[in-house]
Amino acid sequence: MGHVAHAFAKLKSNLEITETEQSQASSRRQAMYGLITEHWDVTNVFLTGSYDRHTKTKKLKDVDIFVVIDDDGEQGDYRSRYPSAVLQSLKKVLETKYHNVTVDGVACVISFGADEEIMSFEVVPAFERSGGGYEIPDPSTGGWLSTDPTKHAEATTAKNGACDQRWVPFVKMVKAMNREADSPIEPSFLIEVMALDLVRPPFGRYQDEIAYFCASAADQVVNDWPDPANLGPIVNREMSAFDRELAARQFRAWQTVAENAIDLEDEGRERAAVDKWRELFGYRMPKAS
C-alpha cells in the first residue's frame, strides 16, 4: 500500500465512531430519557441525525436526540404553543440535571465541554406527524416544520450500498475538510444532501471522488437543495446569495488542493501528496510514514 492509500485508510479509521463513544452516547440518551419522562409524557426519545446515519465527524458535537411528545399526555397542547415557549419548557427540564443548557434554533443544546468524547447534544422536541415523520420547532416562523430522519437514514443506507459501503466514509471526509476550515459550509447536512445527488456509482478512489465532488458542488451549491424526505424546508434556505457564493469559492479552493495532490501522486511524489492532502484534513490524516 502506497503512502497516499495508507493515509486515506488511516483517515477513514480516525473518523469512525468508537465503541466507547457509542456506549457513552447511548448511556447519555438513556439518562436524558429518564429525566425527561419524569417531567413530560413522551412516546420515545431516540438518537438521530448524522450520528444515527454514521456521518458524524469527530470530536462528536451536537449529537441529535428527538423527544417525541405524547399527543394524549399532559404536554399534548404544546403543539399549539409557540416553538420558543416549548423549547424554554424543555430547557427548564434539562436544567434540573445539566448545568450548561442553551436554546439554539430547533433544539436545546447540552454542552459537556471540549475535553469530552461527546462535546454536546442537541435535544429536539417533536410530535408525530400525520402521514409519517415528525414536526419540530421552527422558531424562524413561529410554527412547526415537518421532517423525517428515518427517510434521511434510508437514503443514506441505499446510497452507501450502491457505492460499495464507501459513501458514508467519503461524506465524513468532506465534513472533516469543512470542519478543518472552520465550517464554511453550513449546515453541514447540506454536504450530505448534495453528496446524495452528486456522487454516483461506481465509486472510485477517495482522492478522485473528493476532487469530482468539489468541482460539481462548486457549480451547484448556489442552487436550492430540497429536503431528501420532501417534507422539510430547503436545506440551505438560511444561506444568502453571498453565503452561497462563498461556499462555491470554498469548494473550488478544496478542488484545487485535491487536484494538486492527485498530480503529485501521479508523479510518484506520494509523501508530498500526503502533505498536500493534510492541508484539507489537518491532524485527522497522519503524516506519510
Looking up cell 434539562 gives 94
Q: What is the pLDDT of residue 216?
A: 98
Average pLDDT, the chain: 93
Kind plus residue range of the DSSP H or E element containing 101: strand 101-104
Q: What is the pLDDT of residue 9?
A: 96
117 Cα distance to chain centroid: 17
Instruction: Supply the pLDDT for residue 158.
Output: 95
Question: For the chain, which ranges sit under pLDDT 50?
Answer: none
What is the 8-class DSSP label of residue 76?
G
Q: Under DSSP, is residue 201 helix (H, G, I), strand (E, B) or coil?
A: coil
Q: What pTM did the predictor assign?
A: 0.90
Phi, psi of 47 (to 5 degrees): -75, 140
Contact partners, residue 112, CB within 8 Å, separation at least 6? 100, 118, 119, 120, 121
Q: What is the DSSP string of 108-172?
A: EEEE--TTSSB-EEEEEEEEEPTTSSEEEEETTTTEEEEE-HHHHHHHHHHHHHHTTT-HHHHHH
Return the pLDDT at 20. Answer: 86
Range 19-147: architecture per CATH: 2-Layer Sandwich (3.30)
How much is the pLDDT for 11?
A: 96
Q: Is residue 5 helix, strand or coil?
A: helix
pLDDT at 193: 97
Show me where the domains of the chain are located: 3-16+151-284, 19-147
- How crowded is the C-beta side of 221, counted as CA atoms within 13 Å? 31
User: Taking Cα atoms as reference points, which of 93, 99, 96 lies closest to residue 69?
Assistant: 93
pLDDT in tens, 97-112: 999 999 998 999 999 9
Helix (H) or strand (E) holding 48: strand 42-48
pLDDT value for 184: 95
